Amino acid sequence: MKKLSAARSAIAVAAAMAALTVAGAPAASADTRTGWVGSTGPVNGQLYLHTSTISNTPLFADTRIYTAFGGTVPSAFIGVRSRLFSSGALCVIKPYKYNSSPASSVNDPTTGDCGPGFYNSHGFVRAFNGTTYQEFVTFPSDPLEFTAPAARGTNEQGESYGSGEDAKVDAELPDLVLAYGTDGQLGYVRAADIAEPQLDKSQIEALDEVNGSFVQETRVVPLLASDGATTLGEFRIG
């Protein structure tokens, strides 16, 4: 009974410390939210706390486990598995990451996204109890809205990439234009691949007539990563 009472007291103290930490911290920005702090309860004499955080600048989900009182634990004692959800559907899940040296915490943010929408973070943590690992699920974060960035960049080949929304003519497009593929995946298409050929009047009149209009043939071009070399899928024109 004394051991149980001591364990309960430790949990209460740790929870109070966590509450004071949250209360004393500045308010979270509009683009970052952290779920409730969870507790593992005593694991091999050690008490751990865990959280899941979502951010949309850039988009990532991050799960963290940490010792309640700041002490370190030996290598391979604690691990995290971050998960990113989009409107309830699993978008990104990472393999477990464990501490490789004495540490007081472990976290592991995700990368990538599944297009614009609402995202939240909801991961798993593990703690070694001397024989095996005990697993715990974190409290989910509140959702955040994410819009794919339109900023342009330059890849290693010197090609520009980004949104073509503000381009008034094809010449103003980046080399790689942000686009959704036929399967809904976000990637890039080459500006040269989507440029319309300059046809004279006779060539236009030679096109197929569809519902009273001359229409060029539908075509499919590669959907690429920002490196301009990795093929992610296809983009349909037409």
Taking the domains of the chain in order of start, what are their residue ranges?
2-146, 153-237
Rounded Cα distance, 86 and 143, in Å: 9
Pick the closest to residue 49 from 158, 125, 152 (CA basis).
125
Q: Within 10 A of 98 (CB to CB), how many other CB atoms are there?
A: 16
Q: Which two tokens stand for residue 116?
A: 């614009």
Q: What sign has the CA pseudo-torsion 24, 30, 31, 36?
A: positive
Q: Measured between alpha carbons, how far is residue 230 from residues 70, 88, 115, 132, 227 in Å? A: 44, 29, 19, 41, 7
pLDDT tens digits, one per residue of 115-149:
889 999 999 999 999 999 999 999 999 999 987 65
pLDDT tens digits, one per residue of 180-230:
888 878 899 999 998 877 777 788 778 777 776 777 778 899 999 999 999
DSSP 174: -
pTM of the model: 0.55
Pick the closest to residue 186 from 222, 219, 232, 121 (CA basis).
232
Which residues is 168 bridged to in the sheet?
none
Rounded Cα distance, 234 and 223, in Å: 5
Q: Return mean pLDDT, the chain.
A: 83
